[in-house]
Amino acid sequence: MRSKIVAGNWKMNKNLSETQVLLEELSEKLPSTEAEVIVAPTFVNLADTARMLKSSKIKVAAQNMHFAESGAYTGEISADMLLNINVELVIIGHSERRAYFGETDEFLSKKVKAALANNMRVIFCFGEELEERKAGNHFKVVESQLKNGLFDLPAEAWQHLVLAYEPVWAIGTGETASPEQAQEMHAFIRKTITEAYDASIADEVSILYGGSVKPSNAREIFSKPDVDGGLIGGAALVADDFIDIIRAS
Ligand code: 13P
pLDDT digits (tens, 9 = 90+) for 169-181: 998 887 888 999 9
In the predicted structure, residue 47 carries a pLDDT above the cut 90: yes
Active site (annotated) includes residue 138: no
Residue in 6, 11, 207, 214 to alter for ligand 1 test, most ligand atoms within 8 A of Cβ: 11
pLDDT at 115: 98
In the predicted structure, residue 1 carries a pLDDT above the cut 90: no
pLDDT at 54: 94
pLDDT at 71: 98
Q: Chain-wide mean pLDDT for the chain?
A: 97
pLDDT at 35: 98
- The Cα 38–Cα 61 span in angstroms is 7
pLDDT at 175: 80
Average pLDDT score over residue span 223-240: 98
227 pLDDT band, cuts 50/70/90, is very high
What's the burial of 243, exposed, middle or buried (CB within 10 Å: 0-12/13-18/19+)? buried
Q: Could you tell me the sign of the dihedral formed by the alpha carbons of 164, 167, 169, 174, in that order?
A: negative
In the predicted structure, residue 141 carries a pLDDT above the cut 90: yes
Pocket of ligand 1 (CB under 6 A): 9, 94, 166, 171-172, 210-213, 231-235
Indicate which residue of 36, 132, 143, 166 is catalytic.
Answer: 166
Q: What is the pLDDT of residues 54-100, one digit of tens each?
A: 999 999 999 999 999 999 999 999 999 999 999 999 999 999 999 99
Q: What is the pLDDT of residues 167-220, one digit of tens each?
A: 999 988 878 889 999 999 999 999 999 999 999 999 999 999 999 999 999 999
Looking at ligand 1, which atom is closest to the CA of residue 174?
A: 4
Total residue count of the chain as it appears in this document: 249
Q: What is the pLDDT of residues 97-112, one digit of tens each?
A: 999 999 999 999 999 9
User: What domains, with CATH codes, occur in the chain?
Assistant: 5-248 (3.20.20.70)
How many whole angstroms from 144 Cα to the centroid of ligand 1?
22
Active site (annotated) includes residue 94: yes
Indicate which residue of 94, 96, 128, 186 is catalytic.
Answer: 94
- Please tell me the residue having the least CA distance from ligand 1 atom 5: 233
Share of the chain above pLDDT 90, in %: 97
Looking at ligand 1, which atom is closest to the CA of residue 164?
A: 10
Looking at ligand 1, which atom is closest to the CA of residue 125?
A: 10
